[in-house]
Amino acid sequence: MASMLEGSGLGLLKGMAMTFRHLFRRRITTQYPEQKLTLSKRFRGYTLVWDKERCTGCATCAKSCPQGNIEIVTSKGTENDYVVEKFQLDSGRCIFCGLCVESCPYDALFLGMEYERSSYRRGDLVLSRDKLLFTPDKQRSAYARPKLEPGLPRQTLLIEGDTGSKKR
């Protein structure tokens, strides 16, 4: 039967029936500014979070960065340690691969969860020490830090028909 009707426009009608069915389906759109997706727990956000207390200034992160994007300057401290004078990330060049976070031996570096980081000026994308500094209100990603994973909200999944939550 199918072969007999092949080429007689039935395929076109089938296609139209398929698109017509979609008229009655739920829209999957996340209305972004009002409605937001909860990101993955391991989300690699477009900033770093740097824990000053834990950092020893070993610069492993700077060495592991593929494009040498982390600038870290240390000086000899009072005791047998180093003081980090400058810790700077050019987020306009960073590709957020997470290698720095993975390589940090003291768990002092985290990826952030932020992505709303556009700017009008190129210079604003260079994040200095203060902007990267860890404060309790900053959300840290659990990428390469599995300990943080339980504390983070569940990711929004499209497969569950979820289109994100209104206003965090």
Does 157 sit near other proteins (CB under 8 A)?
A: yes
| 49 CB-near residues (< 8 Å, 6+ apart) | 109, 110, 111, 112, 132, 133, 134, 138, 140
Sheet with 70-76: strands ordered across: 70-76, 82-90, 126-127
Does 144 sit near other proteins (CB under 8 A)?
A: yes
Does 168 sit near other proteins (CB under 8 A)?
A: no
Choosing from 54, 66, 128, 151, the residue that interacts with other proteins (CB under 8 A) is 66
Q: How far apart are the first and last CA of the chain?
A: 55
Does 119 sit near other proteins (CB under 8 A)?
A: yes
Choosing from 79, 116, 130, 137, the residue that interacts with other proteins (CB under 8 A) is 116
Segment contacting other proteins by CB under 8 A, of 40-48, 50-58, 70-78, 128-136: 40-48
Does 83 sit near other proteins (CB under 8 A)?
A: no
- In whole angstroms, how close is the CB of 139 to other proteins at the nearest point? 13
Choosing from 51, 71, 102, 107, the residue that interacts with other proteins (CB under 8 A) is 102
Place of tokens 């060495």: 63
DSSP-assigned letters across all residues of 50-112: E-TTT-----HHHHH-TT--EEEEEEE-SSSSEEEEEEEEETTT-----HHHHH-TTS-EEEB
Show contacts with other proteins in window 46-65 (CB under 8 A): 46, 64-65
- In whole angstroms, how close is the CB of 79 to other proteins at the nearest point? 27
d(CA 43, CA 112) in angstroms, rounded, equals: 8
- In whole angstroms, how close is the CB of 7 to other proteins at the nearest point? 6
DSSP 133: B
Query: For other proteins, which is the closer residue by CB, 25 or 166?
Result: 25
Does 148 sit near other proteins (CB under 8 A)?
A: no
